[in-house]
Amino acid sequence: MTLWQDFNQWKRRAIIKTGKRVTRAIDRFLASQSLVGDPPAFDTSQFEWVKILENNWQPIRKEAEQLLKERELIPAFHEISPDQTRISKGDHWKTHILYGFGRRIETNCQRCPETAKVLESIPGMMTAWFSMIDPGYHIPPHRGPTKSFLVCHLGLIVPKDKDKCYLRVADQKLTWDEGKCFVFDDTFDHEVRNDTGEHRVVLLVHVERPMRAPGRIVSKLFLALIKASPYVKDGVKNMEKWEDRYAAALRRMENQPVPQD
């Protein structure tokens, strides 16, 4: 490793460390501005857009089932976001990203047109991806970057033994139901366990948190800083690379001759 690479790694770590301190201060202010309170998990009846997802879950699930068949072509989370290597190991957590901080990933959306159409109808939708967890995989405890948005999971493919496949946020244990959503604040300590022999697939959506006007202003400014950070810029570059590779792999699959009996 060169001195320049050493310096860049040190600079990246310093930026992330400073960013975390600033983020905590901003999050305290955003929590005070929240129009839906600041619990770890929310009553989904507070959000009209939840019904949009739940009413359309079956066509979304069909697209998720096809992606699961193509999982070898889909990147692991840390292959898109290198900062996630602590919580994403090996090839066990796949992420098919449709929107990243408002940016539409064209190839992926074209592959899942019904899901993309539903997502575009959700006000304040920021980020969305299919999250696929392998049997037996554990995502260690971690925290999200900001209270600017809330996280929604729409259950699509859920192991039969739901008690052994769950998300813990703070002191609450949330389990998935196919066709149903739960909404939580990922700035609280949370982890995921799939202690079953089946895959778990959800549609994960980040939606802007309802806030008073001062909170909305600060949130938009802070999100602009996040979008300009290496955290997002590196993810965008990596996603573009995977987008090209994914499209090329799909073309090769589609052009393969059909076996004759």
Average pLDDT over residues 121-150: 95
Q: Is the pLDDT of residue 5 over 70?
A: no
Q: Work out the percent of the chain whose per-residue pLDDT is above 70.
A: 78
The residues, ordered by sequence, that sit 6+ positions from 239 with a Cβ below 8 Å of its Cβ are: 80, 97, 100, 105
Q: Work out the percent of the chain whose per-residue pLDDT is above 90.
A: 62
Q: With the C-alpha atoms ordered 156, 159, 160, 161, is the resulting torsion angle positive or negative? A: negative
Q: Is the pLDDT of residue 4 over 70?
A: no
Contacts for 234-242 with beta carbons within 8 Å, 24 or more apart? 234/81, 234/82, 234/83, 235/80, 235/81, 235/100, 236/100, 236/103, 238/75, 238/79, 238/80, 238/81, 238/82, 239/80, 239/97, 239/100, 239/105, 242/75, 242/79, 242/80
Burial tier of 38 (Cβ tally within 10 Å: 0-12, 13-18, 19+):
middle
How confident is the model over 206-216, as pLDDT tens digits?
999 999 999 99
101-105, 129-133, 144-148: which has the highest mean pLDDT?
A: 129-133
Q: With the C-alpha atoms ordered 80, 82, 85, 91, is the resulting torsion angle positive or negative? A: positive
One-letter identity of residue 251: R
Residue 184, beta-bridge partner list: 41, 151
| Chain mean pLDDT for the chain | 87
Q: Is the pLDDT of residue 248 over 90?
A: no
- Residue 100: pLDDT band (50, 70, 90) is confident
Domain residue ranges of the chain, discontinuous segments joined by +: 36-210+218-247
What's this model's pTM, rounded to 2 decimal places? 0.84
Q: Is the pLDDT of residue 245 over 70?
A: no
How confident is the model over 37-86, as pLDDT tens digits?
999 999 999 999 999 999 999 999 999 999 999 888 888 877 777 666 67
The larger pLDDT score, comparing residue 28 to residue 8, is at 28
- Backbone dihedral angles phi then psi of residue 139, each to the nearest 5 degrees: -90, 115
- Backbone dihedral angles phi then psi of residue 208, each to the nearest 5 degrees: -55, 135
- pLDDT number for residue 224: 87
* 36-210+218-247: CATH topology: Jelly Rolls (2.60.120)
Average pLDDT over residues 166-181: 98
CA–CA separation, 250 vs 172, rounded Å?
40
Three-state SS for 178?
Answer: coil
The residues, ordered by sequence, that sit 6+ positions from 35 with a Cβ below 8 Å of its Cβ are: 210, 211, 212
- pLDDT number for residue 258: 47
Q: Interhelix angle for 3-33 vs 213-227, to 10°?
A: 170
Other CB atoms within 10 Å distance of the CB of residue 96: 27
- pLDDT number for residue 220: 93
CA–CA separation, 224 vs 17, rounded Å?
18
Dig out the tokens for 113 from the structure. Answer: 């047109």
Average pLDDT over residues 116-125: 97
The larger pLDDT score, comparing residue 125 to residue 74, is at 125
- The structure tokens 């946020």 sit at 169
